[in-house]
Each structure stands twice: as C-alpha cells, then as structure tokens.
A and B are shown apart, each in its own frame.
Chain A
Amino acid sequence: MAVRRPAGFRHNSLRLTSRGKNWVLRSGAFEKLLLTLDPDRERAAEKYEAIRRRLVQLFQWRGCLSGETLADDTIDRVSRRLEEGEVIRASDPAIYFYGVARNVLKEYWTEQRKEQTLERSSGPVRETPAGQWDLDHQEVDERLECLDRCLAGLSRENKQLIMTYYRSEKSGKIADRTELANRLKLSAGALRIRAHRIRGQLEECVTECMGKRADG
C-alpha cells in the first residue's frame, strides 16, 4: 500500500520547524515511525494514513489556514522524537500524535498573534474577510470538469451509491436512503459514513485535479 509521506520527506529538502530548527525526515526515521504504529507494514500504513487524516481535520476544524502543512509538521516532530530515542507510552499512538498536535497548534496561534501585532504597527498585508472567496465562472466550470473526471474514476458501485445518496430531493431523501441501505445491507449510520468516505475521495481527487490545472 502506498503511503503518503510528509512533504519534507518527499522533497528531501530541509524543513524548518516553527522553532527554527532544521531537520530532515529520512527514510529510516519514517520506517521507525511505521514500526511504532504496527509491526505489520500494511496495517502500519493504514494507521499512519488514518492518523494523518485526523491531524489534517483537526487543524482545519480549528480554523488553521494550512491543515496539511501543520499535520506534516506534527508527524515530523513525532518521527524526530522517535529517532532521538523517545518511546511512545500512550496506549494508542494516535493520542501521542494529538498531544504533539496541540503544541503545534499553540505555536501556530502564538505566531498568528505576533503577526497581527506586527500588522497593526506596519500595515500593508491584507486579510481575506469572510465571504471574499466567491468563485468566478471559469473556476466553477473547471471544478465541474474535474468532478466529472473523478466521478468517472469511481467504481460502478461507489458511483451509484453516491449519486443515489446525494441526489434525493428533500421529500424523498429518507425513503431513498433507507432503500439504498437495505439494498446494500447496511445500517443507516454505516451508509452515511460510507457515503461520506466516497465523497471525501472525490473531494481529494478534485483538489488534485484543480491543483494540476493551476500548475499547468
């Protein structure tokens, strides 16, 4: 199973932590991280991806502007600690990651406050107020094209599930979803989570497609 490694590892470049120290996430440290999660590499990779996903969500739900970067920073720090000999004592390694993420978050807020103080004294950097991010027509069209491409890449079953789940108009929604759940032999809650996961895959695919268009 392919594992998405933190950006610092992928580009093999020096990564500055917010404390200003340079540290490179090398292959050995990453393998040690995986081994800490599970002795079986496949299961370790799944756990790694699950933790990374939750880290990204945590930072986004906290209103941070670059959840992926902060999640990778957290992973880098955990890896560095493991390489320096620290042992994760938490019963679930995910809790350890959360603890490190809390520190990353606090540093992020401190930096935000410092920069707001600087801006009050020096000035010209502009904030983006709420509601500023309305899309232009061309971006809307591009996003729809990307969505079409990503929908075509889904398996037939997943495509049918997501089309049925999200297509229903309000009055028929409950009945349609109940019928879908019965057909797939799932509880309503399980169907909801499955639809959410497929939607998440689509969203990632569209984000990647939009990014490729931007980079040319």
Chain B
Amino acid sequence: MAELSRDEAVAFLLGGGTEEEREAVERRLFEDETVADEVAAVEDELIDAYIAGGLPPSERGQFERAYLSSPERSDKVAFARALRERLSSDVRGRSIQGASGRPRALLAALAAAAVILLAMSSFLFFQDAKTRLELERARSEIAGLKTSNDQLAQQLEKTRGPIAAEPPSSRQPEALIASFELSPALVRDTSETRTLVVPKSIGEVRLILPVEEGSGGTYQATLTTVDGAKLWTSGPLRTRAEKSKNSIVVGVPANRLSTNDYILTLGRVDAKGRIRDVDDYFFRVKRD
C-alpha cells in the first residue's frame, strides 16, 4: 500500500482535491489504519503550525475556514494551544528552578558568547576608526548585560520554588471585574429592568445567567441595544456549577458598555453548529 504523502494529507485535511481524490484517500484510511494515523499526525502538525503562525497565508485561510467554523475542530485547536502553553511554562519553570545545572550551562554559554563577541570586536577595532567607536559602545553594553545576567542568576536562585505550581491565571495581570446576576424576561418591562452601575475602572462586566440543572451543551451570547444594533458576541460558553446552582457566565468587555439599555440574547448551539435563541435578558447600564 503506497503511503500518503504529506502534501496529499494536507490537501485532504484542508478540504482540497476533487471528490474522487477525497474518496480515494478515505478508502485508504479504512483499508490501512497506518494511513489514518499518518493523516491524524499531519493534522496535529498542521494545527501546531497554525498556532505558531507558521502556515503560509493561502493555507492559513483554508485552515481557518476548515477548523474554526465547527465546535469539534475548534476544540482541537484550543487543546493544542493549551498543550503549547503548558509545555512552554514547563520549560520556563525548569529553567527558573535550576534543574540539572541547565541555567549554569546557559550562563556559561552566554559568557562564552560574550567572550567571542568581545574577541571579534577587538579584531575589528583595529580596522576602522568609526567602527572602532561603535564597537567600543557595544563592548560596554555586553559588559553591562553580563553584570545584569549575573545579578539575575542570583535573584533566580533566591526565588527557586514552586513557581510552576502557580495557577496560570494568577501569573497574568487581571482587569477589574464587576459581576451581576440577571434573570430572563418574557416581556420587557422598564420598571423591572435591572440597572448595573459600572465604574470607569472596570475592565470586564461578568453577567451571571442562572440556568436549570441539566442545561448542558454550548451557548453563545449576543449583546445588542434595544434598537437592535449588534455590539458584541461571545465565544463558546458552557454552564458552570457552583454551590449546587448552575449558571452561564458571560464576560463582556466594559468598553462595549456605555450608559444605555441593552439586550443580552443567549443562544444554544445545536449539533449542526446553528444557534437557536433561548432567552433574552434586559438590563440598563449606568457608567460612572
């Protein structure tokens, strides 16, 4: 059985080729499991290349059309991002903790590079007066960097500890968040409209929408004005359980909200990727 080439696999994954060509590949997937494994491995590499920004523009467009328009394939991309994030943080954590003398080797390599650079700059110094002056400046910078490096290494030794155990969210600076609970309204009644006071310092407004137990699946929220102007749409949302209550949390960037009346429409994504509206939530925002 002839192996599938990488180009054939990529074309298949991105939806290219004629129908006959695609059927021929599919038959081979079922005749030989190694072909299926090969295509799946190429898929991993394609996704990783996309995340790393390594796909050429023509393939990037095809990839986004094929992979970002369905929940299942988007989940594969999201998983790949998480894997890359976790493995990158593992590399950072290991170098900070000084495992197996690696930072020392790294410093030694840096020192060697600095020495080599210094040697080169000394050679060139005698060649050109102008270059000599610029190289003199470079030498000073390198010396300064080496000193900073030594100081950093000492600081890193002091901070050796369970940095890798820190949850990801606490390593990132977080915008101020204001949370409000909303209830759906069957009929809009201005006397009942909830008013949310949102100070200027708030970066994100979290709208908590209680849902019934068993309301699984994927949702999407859309924010519009009461005139119908669409302002913002969320990414995929899922129900969360907290203290025996289920809810969907919608994080709206605060810069989308001014003093005005709004409607948040919650839609549920069906198996075919279409969104069917479930509830509307009316609220008023007052910005300080």
Q: Which residues of A approach B to under 8 Å, CB–CB?
A: 50-51, 53-54, 57-58, 60-61, 63-67, 69, 92, 94-95, 97-98, 102, 112, 115, 124-141, 143-145, 147-148, 151, 163, 166-167, 192-193, 195-197, 199-200, 202-203, 206-207, 210-211, 213-216
Which of A69, A98, A196, A216: most chain B Cβ within 10 A? A216
**Whole-angstrom distance between the Cβ of A172 and the nearest chain B Cβ:** 11
The answer to the question of B273 belonging to the interface, with a C-beta cut-off of 8 Å to chain A, is yes
Cα separation A166 to B152 with both chains bound (whole Å): 28
Known: A130-B69, A214-B216. A166 touches B64 (CB 8 A): no
**A92 & B272 in contact (Cβ 8 Å cutoff):** no
The tally of CB-CB contacts under 8 A between chains A and B is 175
Known: A65-B71, A66-B271. A98 touches B234 (CB 8 A): no
The answer to the question of B102 belonging to the interface, with a C-beta cut-off of 8 Å to chain A, is no
Residue of A whose beta carbon sits closest to that of B265: A126
The answer to the question of B21 belonging to the interface, with a C-beta cut-off of 8 Å to chain A, is no
**A196 & B235 in contact (Cβ 8 Å cutoff):** no
Cα separation A216 to B213 with both chains bound (whole Å): 8
Other-chain contact of A139, B64, B86, B236 (Cβ < 8 Å)? B236
Other-chain contact of A112, B68, B79, B267, B272 (Cβ < 8 Å)? B272
28 residue pairs from A and B, CB less than 8 Å apart: A54-B33, A57-B36, A57-B39, A63-B70, A67-B72, A98-B30, A115-B274, A124-B277, A128-B273, A132-B220, A133-B235, A135-B235, A139-B238, A140-B81, A143-B82, A163-B87, A196-B37, A196-B40, A203-B79, A206-B82, A207-B79, A210-B238, A213-B238, A213-B240, A214-B240, A216-B239, A216-B240, A216-B246
Other-chain contact of B90, A57, A69, A167 (Cβ < 8 Å)? A167
**A92 & B235 in contact (Cβ 8 Å cutoff):** no
Query: Given the complex, which residues of B lie within 8 Å of A136, measured CB to CB?
Result: 234-235, 237, 251
The answer to the question of B83 belonging to the interface, with a C-beta cut-off of 8 Å to chain A, is yes
Known: A130-B68, A135-B235. A192 touches B87 (CB 8 A): no
Query: Given the complex, which residues of B lie within 8 Å of A135, measured CB to CB?
Result: 78, 235-236
Which of A166, A197, A210: most chain B Cβ within 10 A? A166
Query: Given the complex, which residues of B lie within 8 Å of A137, measured CB to CB?
Result: 169, 251
**B71 & A127 in contact (Cβ 8 Å cutoff):** no
**A95 & B40 in contact (Cβ 8 Å cutoff):** no
Chain B at the A interface: SS class: helix
**Whole-angstrom distance between the Cβ of A144 and the nearest chain B Cβ:** 5
Residue of A whose beta carbon sits closest to that of B64: A130
The answer to the question of B104 belonging to the interface, with a C-beta cut-off of 8 Å to chain A, is no
- Shortest Cβ-Cβ A-B pairs, 9 listed: A216-B241, A214-B238, A133-B74, A66-B271, A196-B41, A98-B30, A130-B69, A65-B273, A94-B30
**B85 & A128 in contact (Cβ 8 Å cutoff):** no
Cα separation A69 to B85 with both chains bound (whole Å): 31
Other-chain contact of A167, B30, B43, B91 (Cβ < 8 Å)? B91
Residue of A whose beta carbon sits closest to that of B22: A62
**B30 & A92 in contact (Cβ 8 Å cutoff):** yes
**B27 & A98 in contact (Cβ 8 Å cutoff):** yes
The answer to the question of B188 belonging to the interface, with a C-beta cut-off of 8 Å to chain A, is no
The answer to the question of B167 belonging to the interface, with a C-beta cut-off of 8 Å to chain A, is yes
Query: Given the complex, which residues of B lie within 8 Å of A124, measured CB to CB?
Result: 277
Query: Given the complex, which residues of A lie within 8 Å of B214, measured CB to CB?
Result: 215
Q: A-facing mask of B167-181, CB < 8 A → 1, else 0?
A: 111000000000000
Query: Given the complex, which residues of A lie within 8 Å of B134, measured CB to CB?
Result: none
The answer to the question of B66 belonging to the interface, with a C-beta cut-off of 8 Å to chain A, is yes
Cα separation A214 to B213 with both chains bound (whole Å): 11
**Whole-angstrom distance between the Cβ of A6 and the nearest chain B Cβ:** 15
The answer to the question of B275 belonging to the interface, with a C-beta cut-off of 8 Å to chain A, is yes
**A138 & B83 in contact (Cβ 8 Å cutoff):** no
The answer to the question of B150 belonging to the interface, with a C-beta cut-off of 8 Å to chain A, is no
The answer to the question of B260 belonging to the interface, with a C-beta cut-off of 8 Å to chain A, is no
Residue of B whose beta carbon sits closest to that of A169: B91
**Whole-angstrom distance between the Cβ of B270 and the nearest chain A Cβ:** 8
Query: Given the complex, which residues of A lie within 8 Å of B157, measured CB to CB?
Result: none
Which of A54, A58, A141: most chain B Cβ within 10 A? A54
Cα separation A196 to B139 with both chains bound (whole Å): 47
Which of B34, B37, B38: most chain A Cβ within 10 A? B37
Query: Given the complex, which residues of B lie within 8 Å of A54, measured CB to CB?
Result: 29-30, 33, 36
Other-chain contact of B275, A61, A69, A128 (Cβ < 8 Å)? A128
